Amino acid sequence: MYKILKKRILAPDICLMEVSAPRVASSAQPGQFIIVRVGEKGERVPLTICDFDSVAGTVTIVTQRVGASSRKIFALEEGDAFEDFAGPLGVPSEFINESEVALQKKKYLFIAGGLGTAPVYPQVKYLHEKGAHVDVIIGAKTRDLVIMEEEMRKVADRVHICTDDGSYGFKGLVTARLKELLDGDQQYDQAVAIGPMIMMKFVTMTAREYDLPLIVSLNTLMVDGTGMCGACRVTVGGKTRFACVDGPEFDAYKVDFDEAMRRQSMYKPQEVDADHKCKIGLGNG
């Protein structure tokens, strides 16, 4: 059993949990994910790692309450425990293979949309510790949904907040702020976008205009996290790839986003049915 040591509400329906998982924490790398299971009959849920501390033996995850299984996770409190907490899984971010000297010469830009801010954080933190220069754009629909701003400001050179309604920071989409930065005096060696699929598609279209190298994370496609279910199958560079075992990070310009978005919507009817059963106390999903 993996005990929840801390729980914090970040925004409406979004919570952060610090979980005791020493073996996972000792091996975790930026870009990877874990699979949790609330109970013996619970669904396997892949979640990207938000932070990890190998000394304390803890791994931090962020969950948004949207469906049956996420509601069960969200309902857990400090002192409760996960039945399973498996990982780390997935291929780590490419930059961990670069030397500190090489990283110190580079400037990165991360574009985080909504819950995507959580998996962006460990990458920015890692690069900051290695001496790289990092800017971050965080996008949300409204101010109440901006998460982890304080943590991000401690590890990034500059943080740009965007809200769709203009209630906080820049009014507009992250792509508009991205264009402003690239049209100005900012130059970046590498960009990374993590968030809703539609956001990453339009960030890719924008970055292409500037020949800006871009990596995206397809973590939102994952279901069982092992490649066996085939739900995260996607075309990358004309070849079939699985987000959970070959990724979740890929070269944005090789991803077939339209196919990925179609695949992402395939299980909507089942999710709605499972959520309904969960709310009325039926089902194990």
Listing DSSP states for 202-252 in one string gives HHHHHHHTTT--EEEE-GGG-SSSSSSS-TTEEEETTEEEEHHHH-SEEEG
pLDDT at residue number 246 = 87
Instruction: Name the DSSP letter for residue 93.
Output: P
Write the CATH number for 38: 2.40.30.10
Q: Give the span between the Cα atoms of 265 and 238, in whole angstroms.
A: 21
* Residue 124 · residue 152 · CB < 8 Å: yes
Q: 19: helix, coil or strand? A: strand
Q: Are residues 51 and 103 in the same domain?
A: no
pLDDT in tens, 40-92: 888 889 999 999 999 999 999 999 988 888 899 999 999 999 999 999 999 99
* Boundary (domain end) residue, out of 89, 120, 148: 89
Instruction: Report which of 91, 115, 101 is spatially closest to residue 251, judged by C-alpha positions.
Output: 91
Segments of 119-189 assigned E as strands: 133-140, 158-163, 170-171
* Residue 274 · residue 285 · CB < 8 Å: yes
Q: Are residues 126 and 194 in the same domain?
A: yes
In a domain, 10, yes or no: yes
Q: What is the largest CA-CA distance in the chain?
A: 56
Q: Are residues 192 and 208 in the same domain?
A: yes
Q: Are residues 106 and 212 in the same domain?
A: yes
Q: Give the span between the Cα atoms of 246 and 250, in whole angstroms.
A: 9
In a domain, 227, yes or no: no
pLDDT surpasses 50 at 284: no
* Boundary (domain end) residue, out of 66, 89, 112: 89
Residue 95 or residue 266, greater confidence:
95
* Residue 23 · residue 7 · CB < 8 Å: no
124: containing domain: 94-217
Total domains in the chain come to 2
Write the CATH number for 138: 3.40.50.80
pLDDT in tens, 109-144: 999 999 999 999 999 999 999 999 999 999 999 999
pLDDT at residue number 43 = 85
* Residue 43 · residue 285 · CB < 8 Å: yes
In a domain, 242, yes or no: no
Q: Are residues 68 and 183 in the same domain?
A: no
Tokens of 162: 């965007």
* Boundary (domain end) residue, out of 199, 217, 235: 217
Residues sharing a CB contact under 8 Å with residue 245, sequence separation 6 or more, in sequence order: 90, 226, 227
